[in-house]
Chains A and B, each alone.
Chain A
Amino acid sequence: MNTLFDKIWDAHVVSSIENGPTILYIDRHYVHEVTSPQAFNGLRTRGLKVFRPLQTTLTADHNIPTLHQDQPVQDPISRNQLDTFEKNAKDFQLPLFFPMGHAKNGVVHIIGPENGFTQPGMTIVCGDSHTSTHGAFGAIAFGIGTSEVEMVLATQCILQTRPKTMRITFNGKLNKGVTAKDLALYMISKLTTGGATGYFVEYAGEAIRNMNMEERMTVCNLSIEMGARGGMIAPDETTFAYLKDREYAPKGEEWNKKLAYWKTLYSDQDAVFDKEYTFDVSEISPMITYGTNPGMGMGIDQTIPTLEQVDEAGRISFEKALNYMGFRPGEKLLGKQIDYVFLGSCTNGRIEDFRTFAQFVKGKKKADNVIAWLVPGSRKVEKQIHDEGLHEILMEAGFELRQPGCSACLAMNDDKVPAGKYAVSTSNRNFEGRQGPGARTILAGPLVAAAAAVTGKITDPREFLS
């Protein structure tokens, strides 16, 4: 009568502190350049080595340019951070190091799965809140701070308090024109941005089972946007088929052994969750956000809530958000002119997202008023875009492809949306200034982004689908 979460958690408990946290063993540690330098410094100060180098995978993603990656990075502070990252990988003898330009480089939550590092039943951490992405494989995966990065580097363990469990079941089939991103934005709009704080979520139901791995990753990726410690989906044939023959996935006899174990990873029939929600996905339309947190979302053809529809306690924050966005309570956003489109990030920077976008814009033209940044999530995604001929379709429609990285999702590099401009973005956060100081972000899925890119305004993609 265990949940999927219980089974994996219990198998990784090294010991428990009375009235305190658990020492949890970590199978895979992903490391990137921004949240790790202080942790490596900590190891140096204490005279420690990295305890399990082969369980540590490193990629540069947050702070790299998406143009001219073959040339030295211009910004000296960014360059120093990248050089420091390389020096740390070398000093601490970490062979799974994929710097900018490497064939396996890319956004950490994209390269992990695509190279087969992420596997069912694992515990996975990274100094990044979107580590929840890897839960799509039936793993316990969550984001950590830099002190915790240091802990894991030093001991391959972390001190964690056991979260509560939540199951969210999605019944039915998604309507035409509705993507996994829309499902997730819908869920967050219902649960709010803190609605799952303290919980680890399992996603279940027909709509989840019907999703491919890329779509499942999109859903799990956004778990943190409703505060959840992480999100996960029980592995099935879709999961196993995705993993088979990936470079770092088990092979031969080892594969068979692991597969037998992975097939035991599901929530038992009588498993009890601390909280359950059920949604009928046929009610979901393409979604957009109108405010400054991912919970402020609505169907693309709906109107922003009026002041009266908002809790009194939340009105100051609501008005502050709309003021920042330049929107009015009760306003409809369909037809609103936009300035930028961003396709990419650990949420929607996978090959499926580029297929969806390319298929939509095929035979159409990018609107003149739109600057579009199409940023593949990894070198492999980039290569596949070329191999599948998507690049030609995109070029034909007036789009250019940039090089892999986190890019305009958090705007640490030069990919910043100017103040006051509207960006329809397939990323994960519409916080004030997230895509550049003063930038106004409208979160959406790849189809809504594609429709905005070709019309220059907020457009319901269903208008174009026969």
Chain B
Amino acid sequence: MEKFVKLTSTVVPLPIENVDTDQIIPARFLKATNKEGFGDNLFADWRYNKDGSPKDDFVLNNPTYKGSILVAGKNFGSGSSREHAAWAIAGYGFKVVVSSFFADIFKNNALNNGVLPVVVSSEFLNEIFQSVKENPNATLTVDLENQTITNNATGNSEKFDINAYKKECLLKGLDDIDYLLSKKNLIEAYETSRTF
């Protein structure tokens, strides 16, 4: 997995609440047997017309907004557990998703693919949306080591939570399977010790 340490970038604003994983990647794109190419269909039904032409009113088709940070309304990633949603977000080039609230499974899936979900207060989220509205070139800085996110347009900053283990994994680019495999002896001992 790719390492994540610190990132400064312009943002793509998506001020919609309850963006579910069916919107992030509709089910008809889940027929693949590898992880490649999902970025092209990220938000497919909001992004493209039926004939495949881009919908002008969707933010990903607006050249004013670009960058590797997606900022979305609360409860991002609800619904289906499909990790394809995380692959689509990573595949498109986003490294960070900022929201005031994430669905559990999506949060894990993102972390397992080197995409950092950053939870901010709803006030801070509104401030970011406001800054980007005023100036599409406004940037955010996400510093994983110090667990801070800074709105460079206002200079305001917030701390964000991440568990120490996951932070270490992202900083070093390690994944959970490597860790679990190193604990095989403990797992076998657990199996032998079970009484129920």
Contacts and interface: CB of A to CB of B under 8 A. Distances in A.
Interface of A: 11, 14-15, 17-21, 23, 25, 34-35, 37-38, 41-42, 46, 48, 62-63, 75, 77-78, 80-81, 84, 121, 127-129, 143-148, 150-151, 154-157, 159, 161, 163, 193-194, 197-198, 224, 227, 229, 258, 261, 293, 313-314, 316-317, 320, 410-412, 429, 431-434, 437
Given A20-B165, A35-B81, A317-B18, 8 more contacts: A17-B165, A38-B83, A145-B108, A147-B83, A197-B75, A293-B78, A313-B122, A316-B16
B37 to A, nearest CB: 12
B112 A147 contact: yes
A57 B50 CA distance: 38
Contacts of A15: 183, 186
29 contacts: A20-B164, A23-B183, A34-B30, A34-B31, A35-B82, A41-B34, A46-B177, A48-B181, A63-B31, A80-B31, A144-B81, A144-B105, A145-B112, A147-B83, A147-B113, A151-B180, A154-B181, A193-B75, A197-B101, A293-B78, A313-B122, A316-B15, A316-B16, A429-B79, A429-B80, A431-B79, A432-B22, A433-B22, A437-B26
B185 to A, nearest CB: 10
B40 interface: no
B196 A121 contact: yes
Contacts of B30: 34-35, 62-63, 412
Interface in B34-91: 34-35, 45, 50, 73-75, 78-84, 86
A163 to B, nearest CB: 8
A433 to B, nearest CB: 5
Given A146-B83, A193-B78, A19 B164 contact: yes
B187 interface: yes
B33 A41 contact: yes
B13 to A, nearest CB: 12
A81 B32 CA distance: 7
Residue of A34, A121, A229, A320 with highest tally of chain B CB at under 10 A: A34
Contact of B183 (A14, A18, A197): A14
Residue of A18, A77, A194, A432 with highest tally of chain B CB at under 10 A: A194
B109 A147 contact: yes
A55 B80 CA distance: 24
A143 B79 CA distance: 10
Residue of B86, B165, B180 with highest tally of chain A CB at under 10 A: B180
B22 to A, nearest CB: 4
Nearest to A15: B186
Contact of B177 (A75, A77, A151, A156): A151
A227 B75 contact: yes
Contacts of B103: 194, 197, 227
What 6 A-B pairs have minimum CB-CB distances, sorted nearest first?
Answer: A20-B165, A145-B83, A37-B33, A19-B164, A147-B112, A145-B109
Interface of B: 15-18, 20, 22-23, 26-28, 30-35, 45, 50, 73-75, 78-84, 86, 101-105, 108-109, 112-113, 122, 163-166, 175-177, 179-181, 183-184, 186-187, 190-191, 196
A433 B23 CA distance: 8
Contact of A25 (B81, B113, B187): B187
B4 to A, nearest CB: 16
A155 B186 contact: no
A19 B163 contact: yes
A148 B31 contact: no
Contacts of A145: 81-83, 86, 105, 108-109, 112
A316 B23 CA distance: 16
A317 B177 contact: no
A81 B17 contact: no
A432 B18 CA distance: 11
Contacts of A412: 27-28, 30-31
A34 B176 CA distance: 22
Contacts of A20: 163-166
B187 A155 contact: yes
A84 to B, nearest CB: 5
Contacts of B16: 316-317, 320
Contacts of B184: 155
A38 B35 CA distance: 7
Contact of B190 (A21, A25, A38, A313): A25
Given A21-B165, A41-B34, A432-B45, A227 B78 contact: yes
